[in-house]
Structures are given as structure tokens and as C-alpha cells.
Amino acid sequence: MPIVNMSKLITIERHIVEAGALHPEATGEFSRLLRDFMLALRIVARDVRRAGLNDMLGMTEDTNVHGENVKRLDIHANEVIFRSMDHGGHLCVMASEEAESIIPIPDEYRKGKYVLVFDPLDGSSNIDVNVSIGTIFSIYRRIDESSVEAGTVEDCLQPGWKQVAAGYAMYGSSTQFVYTTGDGVDVFTFDPTIGEFLLTFEKIRIPERGKIYSVNSGNAHKWSPGLREYVTHLLRPSDDGCRPYSLRYVGTMVADIHRTLYYGGIFMYPADTSAPTGKLRLVYEVNPMAFIIEQAGGRATDGKNRIMDVTPESLHQRIPCFMGSTQDVLEVESYLNT
Ligand code: P6P
């Protein structure tokens, strides 16, 4: 378990400023970007918590680019993030799960050197039943940092190893913000009595191996033989007590990754016969989570290749993903690549 930080009272804003001070060349633009993004998350967290009272639950008539029914809270969260981030002068372009193409910065606002891609509300199917949902994000530098023009789709299609920052907010029993800028993973927990995100866990390290696997077993009949053999192996009791593993699956990637980060084990959304590239989207779901998992000492692949080495070809490209404790991911790879 990560070290609980009970000594220092550090807000996310102070953490961002102090981290920025470590980079003398920093202009403060990145810190202002994160500050504005935290405002958006505060608003989304408030509205998620009041959704039932605000009558924000339920479906719209719309479907998103993936043909999935869009919940009203999805649209609301998307708009809150856009309106919080479009005028700060630090972004040149945005991309969202809820938008078919890139989201340009309005003409009247200055274009900055950063790119924001995000899933405004991950776990939509769980909204109406009060199960944890979340917001996932990645930040990149634009390809041509000297440009002051509008950003392009190419700026949003950079490989994950170029991420400047990534993370997620989880709207669960408490609201937590988990992020990395490439120097480890820190967790902030929202204290509504003071309206601040306080540093609660520093530099989380994922266990080298866990005892939990997380996958939608309802798709088992469509898995590859190697994956079925792997899961059968996990469920076969071992003399050293390391097996059988337990199955935990929330159906919200943010929640399943958050548990995997703390307890170890493996989260999988594999390819199957009906989804040859899996379900989860590379740009704004899998890459940010891969950055978090790697920064915590874990491993994130598509079953063979490092996720963050893949160059996206389209905004909503899907990719199979296996991420979590290094030994667990290496073990599933050995079954997938026999
Ligand atoms: P399934 C939620 O809709 C989501 O995009 C991820 O958060 C989650 O991991 C996955 O889909 C769940 O998909 O097919 O198991 O319901």
C-alpha cells in the first residue's frame, strides 16, 4: 500500500507550483493549464455528486462516435471541460471521446503550446447506478512549439511516450485526483469542507505481482485460446498460495485501474472475435493509464508491444490492453505469444 501522507498539508495547486519550480525554464503556462483543469474537475465532481438531484441522469437521444448511447452527464462534463480550458491561452487544440473530430480553440483566443485529450466521463454505463466513474486526460506539447496557429489532429495523435502529464479523477466514495508528470504518481483527495484537493498518497508503487485479475469474463467465449489458458491458470490453486486469483471488475476503467494501482494484479481489455482491436481507446483512455501504470513501476502492453510506443492513426482508435503488476503482465504475454 502507498505511504499515507499525514504530515504535510499540500494542495494540488501548491504541488503544481512546487513541481514547476523544479524546472527553471518553465514559463508557468503548464501550471496554469493544470490549475484550469482542476477547476473543471471540481465542477464535474460537484455535478456528478448531485446528478440524481439535478435530474442529470438518464439517456439522451444522442449516440456518440462509437454508437454508444450518450448520458446527459457525459455531454455536461464535456462542455464543462471545454469551457474551462478553451480560453486560457495554454492549449492549441483538444480532443474528446465525445467529439468525432478535434475540438479547435475558438478564433478569439490565443493558441498555446499544449494539447489536451480527454474522456470527460469514463464509465457512463455506471452513472445511473451510483457506481464509481471518472475523467481521464493526457497532456502533450504541440509538435511545432514555435507555432501560434491552431493545433491539428496530428498534435493529438502523438505516441504515449511523448505525454507531458496524464491521469484521472475518480468520482467514488471520495473524489480523488491521480496524476503524473513523469516523476512518479501522486494522489490527491478532495476535502469538500475546504474545497481543496490534498496530497494523500505520494509516489505510489504498484506491487510487482498481485492476486487480482480484472476482465469482463462475459466475453470469455470470444477470447483467444492463450488468454483462456491464462485465466484457467490463475484460477488453479497453487501450493504457495499465490493462486487462485480473485476476479474484480467494476466496468469503469478508472475504478479498475485505481484498484490495480493500489493492490496490484492485472487489468485486461483484450481483443476478441467480435472486437479484434478490443474496446478501449488508445488516445484518451489507454495511453494516459499506461503512463500512470509505468510511472508506478508497472507494465502496459497490447499483449506484446509497449502501449506508449504505438503511434495512433486515428483519434478513436481502439487497442487491446493488458496493464498492471509487471510480473502479471509478463505472465499473460507468455500465454498470448506461445
Ligand atoms: P464492458 C466504460 O464504458 C468503458 O469504456 C471503460 O471504462 C470500461 O473499462 C469498459 O468500457 C467496460 O466495457 O464491455 O466490460 O462493459
Class for the domain spanning 212-336: alpha beta
Structural domain boundaries in the chain: 12-201, 212-336
Residue closest by Cα to atom 14 of ligand 1: 216
Which numeric CATH code is attached to 12-201? 3.30.540.10
CA–centroid distance, residue 291 to ligand 1 (Å): 19
Beta carbons within 8 Å of 75's beta carbon, 6+ residues apart: 60, 62, 98
Calculate ∠ Cα 234-238-243, nearest 5°. 40
Per residue in 236-278, pLDDT (tens digit) is: 999 999 999 999 999 999 999 999 999 999 999 999 999 999 9
Residues composing the chain? 338
What is the 87 CA–ligand 1 centroid distance (Å)?
Answer: 32
Question: Would you say residue 305 has pLDDT above 80?
Answer: yes
Spatial neighbors of 56 by CB under 8 A, at least 6 apart, are 47, 50, 72, 73, 76
212-336 matches 12-201 in CATH topology: no
For ligand 1, whether the C-beta of 155 sits within 6 Å is no
Over the stretch 101-121, which tens digit does the pLDDT of each residue have? 999 999 999 999 999 999 999
pLDDT at residue 71 is higher than 70: no
Q: In angstroms, what is the span from residue 252 Cα to ligand 1's centroid?
A: 6
* Residue owning the nearest CA to atom 10 of ligand 1: 251
Task: Tell me the pLDDT band of 18, cut-offs 50, 70 and 90.
Answer: confident
Mean of pLDDT over the chain: 93
Q: What is the rounded distance in angstroms from the CA atom of residue 282 to the CA atom of residue 307?
A: 8
Q: Is 279 in the pocket of ligand 1 (CB under 6 A)?
A: yes
The finding on whether 220 has its CB within 6 A of some atom of ligand 1 is no
What is this structure's pTM?
Answer: 0.94
Residue 254 CA: nearest ligand 1 atom is 7
Categorize the per-residue pLDDT at 4 as very low, low, confident or very high, splitting at 50, 70 and 90: low
pLDDT of residue 63: 76
